[in-house]
């Protein structure tokens, strides 16, 4: 596994062996990453590790297998301020890095990729290919950078499955739109923007008259920004639709990947929910939010198999006093893990909650709390889940920023088995092992990632691979 030590901008690798014997393998120093903060991480089906270096406008590439310890190979120039990073569901050897653009103080070009899109304006995505490991192998390469003509934080979902045209759907938070990028392997338009979807909703805008639907505008022409603020996008294997949450509207939109139209909306007004994820088979949207009086994390699900979809709100007394942190599903859908966030308003902090999620499919969906796991006090925490076999959770690894450690927690009994000292202020954790991408065994939670050879696992990682919760 890999641990981002935010205190000194280093990356520590740790061997995960089980209940005991877990140990540090090595640490890559900050100089290798140009002494900038480490960002989102992802691994490819070709067994390379990719990590965004936002302040350097580059993506670091690391060979985790060839040497006795992981080898830093290069920092590859991409675009202005890469933030999120994804593994392609059509080809698991392809990586997509989101360039969120200029955020310098008092900038006159906010959100623009000044490296690749200064003329067109707007930010971009960079597509990389992983090359192959072994003697004489080349390092990964940039295949293409695509200008989006839109500003703001970007998140992405990939359409996939039999009979489904392969597309990448990239939302832009500031502009309030989704760019549709052709991802069909044999298409002459591969890796070009073929459509842009205007998310403006006149019923949600203060001045409805300014909300002109520009979806028919040429893909080469910028849209007028709106207040949708999309920040969260998923692909459902069940419905074969895209789901985008508009934080500005407190609404989830369902988008048809063929007509590129909004076919349904789910209003979250009057609910505590502000973010969402999806389980592996695409049946349930997991809704996550909080109340402030009293303070509590709130969870619910939206069952997409029903027509119309049915929402179930869960009452979980043990979450009283908590603020919501990041969450992960096991690939088989039987386990859900959620961290308690350490915000100032929370009265219960430093906890990992393990749930049995196998009864979500019952006539009345339910989540059963298996264990409330105490963590190191007064610190920030992040986590990842070791998934093996038929998508089964084996271990949960949680970082503890105050005592500079990671906790190894067994999924069998949800007890901490060992603490391993790492670097200062550990943050993001990512579990990797050879074949994990090809088998689809990566825990489900923001990064939508998959494999070219198995059904893609659709992840909502909630910024847990390098971005703050």
User: What does the pLDDT profile of the chain (469 residues) look like in tens digits?
Assistant: 999 999 999 999 999 999 999 999 999 999 999 999 999 999 999 999 999 999 999 999 999 998 999 999 999 999 999 999 999 999 999 999 999 999 999 999 999 999 999 998 999 999 999 987 665 678 999 999 999 999 999 999 999 999 999 999 999 999 999 999 999 999 999 999 999 999 999 999 998 777 888 888 888 889 999 999 999 999 999 999 999 999 999 999 999 999 999 999 999 999 999 999 999 899 999 999 999 999 999 999 999 999 999 999 999 999 999 999 999 999 999 999 999 988 889 999 999 999 999 999 999 999 999 999 999 997 899 999 999 999 999 999 999 999 999 999 999 999 999 999 999 999 999 999 999 999 988 876 533 333 333 333 333 333 333 333 2
pLDDT at residue 119, as a whole number: 92
The H-or-E segment that residue 438 falls in is: helix 436-439
User: Rounded to 5 degrees, what are φ and ψ at 439?
Assistant: -85, -5
Please give the Cα distance from 230 to 435 (Å, whole number).
Answer: 33
pLDDT at residue 230, as a whole number: 96
pLDDT at residue 134, as a whole number: 63
Please give the Cα distance from 36 to 72 (Å, whole number).
Answer: 15
Distance from CA of residue 154 to its chain's centroid? 11
366 CB-contact burial (10 Å; exposed 0-12 / middle 13-18 / buried 19+) = middle
Please name the residues in contact with 261: beta carbons below 8 A apart, sequence gap of 6 or more. 197, 215, 255
b or e along 31-42 (b: 16 or more beta carbons within 10 Å of the residue's beta carbon)?
Answer: ebbeebbbbbbb
User: Rounded to 5 degrees, what are φ and ψ at 75?
Assistant: -110, 115
pLDDT at residue 436, as a whole number: 93
3-state secondary structure of 437: helix
How far is residue 432 from each of residues 93, 384, 436, measured CA to CA in Å? 15, 10, 7
Q: CA torsion sign, 226 to 230 to 236 to 239?
A: negative
Q: Are 351 and 339 in contact (CB under 8 A)?
A: yes
Pick the closest to residue 236 from 176, 178, 277 (CA basis).
277
Cα end-to-end span (Å), the chain: 20
β-bridge pairing 381-388 and 230-235: unpaired
Whole-prediction pTM: 0.94
In the structure encoding, which two tokens stand for residue 97, read together?
């890095």
pLDDT at residue 445, as a whole number: 55
Q: Are 295 and 345 in contact (CB under 8 A)?
A: yes
């Amino acid at each position: 596994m890999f641990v981002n030590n935010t205190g000194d901008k280093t990356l520590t690798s740790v061997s995960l062996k089980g209940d005991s014997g877990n140990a540090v393998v090595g640490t890559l120093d900050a100089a290798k990453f140009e002494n900038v903060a480490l960002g989102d991480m992802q691994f490819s089906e070709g067994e390379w590790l990719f990590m965004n270096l936002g302040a350097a406008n580059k993506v670091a590439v690391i060979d985790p297998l060839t040497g006795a310890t992981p080898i830093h190979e290069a920092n590859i120039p991409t675009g202005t301020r890469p933030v999120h990073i994804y593994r392609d569901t059509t080809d698991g050897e392809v990586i997509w890095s989101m360039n969120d653009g200029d955020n310098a103080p008092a900038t006159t070009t906010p959100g623009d990729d000044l490296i690749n899109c200064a003329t067109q304006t707007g930010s971009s995505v960079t597509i990389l290919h992983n090359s192959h490991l072994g003697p004489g192998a080349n390092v990964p390469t940039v295949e293409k950078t695509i200008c989006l003509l839109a500003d703001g934080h970007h998140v992405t979902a990939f359409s996939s499955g039999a009979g489904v045209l392969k597309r990448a759907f990239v939302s832009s938070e500031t502009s309030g739109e989704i760019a549709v990028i052709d991802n069909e392997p044999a298409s002459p338009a591969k890796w070009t923007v073929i459509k842009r979807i205007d998310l403006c909703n006149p019923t949600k805008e203060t001045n409805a008259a300014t909300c002109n639907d520009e979806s028919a505008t040429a893909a080469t022409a910028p849209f007028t920004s709106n207040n949708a603020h999309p920040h969260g996008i998923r692909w459902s294997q069940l419905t074969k639709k895209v789901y985008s949450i508009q934080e500005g509207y407190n609404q989830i939109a369902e988008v048809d990947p063929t007509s590129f139209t909004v076919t349904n909306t789910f209003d979250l007004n009057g609910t505590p929910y502000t973010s969402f994820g999806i389980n592996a088979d695409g049946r349930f949207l997991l809704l996550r939010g909080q109340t402030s009086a009293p303070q509590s994390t709130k969870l619910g699900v939206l069952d997409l198999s029903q027509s119309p979809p049915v929402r179930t709100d869960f009452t979980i007394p043990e979450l009283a006093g908590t603020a919501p942190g990041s969450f992960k599903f096991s690939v088989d859908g039987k386990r859900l893990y959620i961290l308690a966030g350490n915000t100032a308003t929370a009265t219960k902090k430093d906890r990992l909650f393990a749930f049995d999620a196998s009864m979500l499919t019952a006539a009345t969906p339910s989540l059963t709390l298996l264990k409330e796991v105490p963590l190191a006090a007064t610190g920030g925490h992040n986590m990842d889940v070791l998934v093996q076999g038929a998508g089964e959770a084996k271990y949960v690894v949680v970082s503890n920023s105050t005592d500079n450690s990671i906790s190894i927690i067994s999924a069998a009994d949800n007890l901490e088995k060992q603490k391993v000292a790492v670097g200062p202020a550990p943050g993001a954790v990512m579990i990797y092992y050879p074949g994990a991408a090809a088998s689809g065994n990566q825990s489900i939670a923001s990064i939508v990632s998959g494999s070219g050879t198995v059904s893609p696992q659709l992840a909502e990682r909630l910024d847990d691979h390098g971005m703050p919760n």
